[in-house]
A and B are shown apart, each in its own frame.
Chain A
Amino acid sequence: MAAGVGDEDADKARRFRDAALPHLDDVYTLARYLLRSAADADDAVQECYLRAFRHFDGLRGQATKPWLMAILRNVCRAEFARRSGASADVADVAEDAAPLWQEPTTSPESAVLRRHDSETVRALVAALPEPFREAIVLRDINDLSYREIAEVVGAPIGTVMSRLGRARSMLREAWLEAERAPQYEERST
């Protein structure tokens, strides 16, 4: 890509570095949780930054972090499509099939959630189905606001709130399950 680039491109590259590279760890973290594979996350993040640079001029007054994450998400979707061959968007099907707020309220009211070590928490999050995993990672691990999450996933804030609600319910169930069955930790790693 070296030939024919002018001062403008050099300047663009510099502005891009300053704006986009500080978010690399955040973008990489999201990629790791979405793809559940370090090698795939590497490739996806690199592709994401390439695309982002190509479209950097289109970023006008928008926050860089959600913008990068939205691009990453598209890259990951393409990767899912590749993995599952022709199978359609599994994520959205799962959401439709799981009505909101219908989960049994089995949680004991008195017991306080036990703290798990980070390895276990990571495994519990990784085990959540999409799009709930994505919602909780964006919110609690990447620390995005509802508005930013809506921007990243291209859905209304109401949808983001329902997904997040459902995600937390599921995570809580899994959390309690892991407390009851500590061998979960060995099975999951």
Chain B
Amino acid sequence: MTCEETRVLVNALVDGELDAGHAREAEAHVASCPDCAARLRDYRVMRQALSAPALRHQAPAALRARIEGALPQHRVAAVAPSRRSLLKGLAAGSVLSGALAAGLVVFVMRQEEDQRILGDVVSAHLRSLQGDHLIDVQSTDQHTVKPWFNGRLDVAPPVVDLTAQGFTLIGGRVDYIDARPVAAIVYKRRAHVINLFVAQVAGGAGPEPRATIEQVQGFNIWRWSRSDLGFWAVSDINAEELQEFGDKFAAAVRSGA
């Protein structure tokens, strides 16, 4: 084999794109050719330097938000037909009063918004498990994680350490639900990740609603709200354990607030 041929192969060798036979041939040549050996060695140094995380760029959060915002929003999508069918019912001589019909529309809208948000929660959870998107601030210390959200969000999420209760705080990040930035606080239960999303929600007056557990696309979601904050905890741990997490979290927030 000549140097000419090997130079192509040296690259493929560095890239691990050669089958065993060709790799042996290339290595045999490199062993007897100082020039190709130097090249191979240098390419490996270069390749290693180029794989450093610092060489990569992180997409700005504003860009991510713009892209999310440009996608069709489920709210308009899902509600339009329902509202139409309700109104059609009225036109057909329904005895529903206008006020009651309006109430129903709002109810239907809320139902569908809920479903969309739950879907988003699962999507965000799945996203977080791919690549290095799980945590932006890595800390088991609630006093580090909580202030990290300052200035990044318009909510100050309660961050509580539940390590003693078997749920280890591992960090936090900003994520997007319903095309809005929200706080994601990340816990671990054994090998399972629990994402706890916190966002500002409407409401506040009235009694605190009961927490609920729902299953969406095979994941359990615990939902709770307190004054103007909404909480969604999502994980693949079983419903009982997630309920336990929710109870412990809610208790800690109540006693801390």
Cβ-based interface call for A16 (8 A): yes
Once the chains bind, are B11 and A6 in contact (CB under 8 Å)?
no
0 or 1 for each of B212-236: is its CB under 8 Å from A? (1 = yes): 0000000000000000000000000
| CB-contact partner of B58 in A25, A118, A161, under 8 A | A25
Residues of B within 8 A of A46 (CB): 63, 66-67, 70
**Is there contact, CB below 8 Å, between B17 and A146?**
yes
Which residues, 51 to 99 on B, are CB-close (under 8 Å) to A? Answer: 51-52, 54-60, 63-64, 66-68, 70-74, 76-78, 80-81
Whole-angstrom CA separation of A109 from B51 in the bound complex = 24
Check B35–A109 contact: CB distance below 8 A: yes
Chain B residues lying within 8 Å of A109, measured Cβ to Cβ, are 34-35, 37-38
B116 within 8 A of A: yes
**Residue A74 is within 8 A (CB to CB) of chain B in the complex:** no
**A141 touching B51 by the CB < 8 A rule?**
yes
Min CB distance A170 to B, Å, is 11
Chain B 109-151 interface residues, beta-carbon cutoff 8 Å to A: 116, 119-120, 123, 126-127, 130-131, 133
A18 and B51 form a contact (CB under 8 A):
no
Main secondary structure of the interface of A (DSSP, over half): helix
A125 at interface, CB cutoff 8 A? yes
Contact of A171 among B15, B46, B67 (CB under 8 A): B46
Asked if B4 is at the interface of the complex by the 8 Å CB criterion, the answer is yes
A97 in contact (CB, < 8 A): no
| A98 CB, min distance to chain B CBs, angstroms | 15
Binary per-residue interface labels of chain A (11-33) against chain B in the complex, 1 for a CB within 8 Å, 0 otherwise: 01110111001101111110010
Residues of A within 8 A of B127 (CB): 17-18, 21-22
Are A118 and B54 in contact, CB atoms less than 8 angstroms apart?
yes
Contact of A121 among B4, B43, B49, B78 (CB under 8 A): B49
Q: Considering only CB atoms and an 8 Å cut-off, how many residues of chain B contact the other chain? A: 54
Assess whether A7 is interfacial by the CB under 8 Å rule: yes
Contact status B72-A2, CB under 8 Å: yes
Whole-angstrom distance between the alpha carbons of A7 and B23 in the complex? 52
**Contact present for A10 and B55 (CB under 8 Å):** no
A141 & B72 in contact (Cβ 8 Å cutoff)? no
Contact A9 B77 (CB under 8 A): yes
Judging by beta carbons under 8 Å apart, are A125 and B50 in contact?
yes
Known: A25-B58, A28-B57, A140-B51. A5 touches B77 (CB 8 A): yes
Bound together, the chains give a CA A125 to CA B58 distance in angstroms of 18
A72: B residues at CB distance < 8 A: none
- In the assembled complex, the Cα of A105 lies from the Cα of B42 at a distance in Å of 13
- Given A21-B127, A143-B51, A165-B11, residue A13 in contact with residue B42 (CB < 8 A): no
A32 engages B15 (CB within 8 Å): no
Q: A6-B81, A146-B17 are in contact. Are A115 and B72 (CB under 8 A)?
A: no
A168 within 8 A of B: yes
Is B24 located at the chain interface by the 8 A CB criterion? no
- Judging by beta carbons under 8 Å apart, are A28 and B55 in contact? no
Interface assignment of B41: CB less than 8 Å from any CB of chain A: yes
B39 touches A172 (CB 8 A): yes
In this complex, the member of A21, A101, A110, A169 whose beta carbon has the largest number of chain B beta carbons within 10 angstroms is A21
24 contacts between A and B (CB under 8 A): A6-B81, A9-B72, A10-B72, A10-B73, A13-B71, A17-B71, A21-B127, A22-B131, A24-B59, A24-B63, A25-B58, A45-B63, A46-B63, A49-B70, A101-B4, A112-B45, A118-B55, A121-B50, A125-B55, A136-B50, A141-B56, A145-B17, A161-B8, A161-B11
Binding site for A on B (CB under 8 A): 4, 7-8, 11-12, 14-15, 17, 34-35, 37-39, 41-43, 45-47, 49-52, 54-60, 63-64, 66-68, 70-74, 76-78, 80-81, 116, 119-120, 123, 126-127, 130-131, 133
Residues of A participating in the B interface, judged by any CB pair closer than 8 Å: 1-7, 9-10, 12-14, 16-18, 21-22, 24-29, 32, 41-42, 45-46, 49-50, 53, 101, 105, 107-110, 112-113, 115-116, 118, 121-122, 125, 136, 139-141, 143, 145-146, 161-162, 164-165, 168-169, 171-172, 175
